[in-house]
Amino acid sequence: MPFSQLGFTELLVILMIVLLVFGAKRLPEMGSALGKGIREFKKSIKEVQESVEGGGTTEAPPSRRIDAPVTSDGEPKKLSQ
């Protein structure tokens, strides 16, 4: 692991620097935003895994066809009409 060499003192220094840079009021907001982001990421990974494993539908939704407007004699309408 890349951070296995970090001791308690190093972590404490890093946390103090973060506290000085962002301030005490911003840290809870940042933690909350980070937690929400991780939850959304896990949720999307789970949805992708379910769809790959066959839990989701692989069929495309039916496409809607939009017919071109026609005149009373069956000819397509021109843009100027």
- pLDDT at residue 73 tops 90: no
Confidence of residue 64 (pLDDT cuts 50, 70, 90): low
Domain ranges of the chain: 26-54
Burial of 70 (0-12, 13-18, 19+ CB in 10 A): exposed
Q: What span, in angstroms and rounded, lies between the C-alpha atoms of 70 and 68?
A: 6
Span 15-46, pLDDT tens digits: 899 899 988 888 889 899 999 999 999 999 99
On whether the pTM is more than 0.75, the answer is no
- Would you say 26 and 18 are in contact if contact means Cβ atoms under 8 Å apart? no
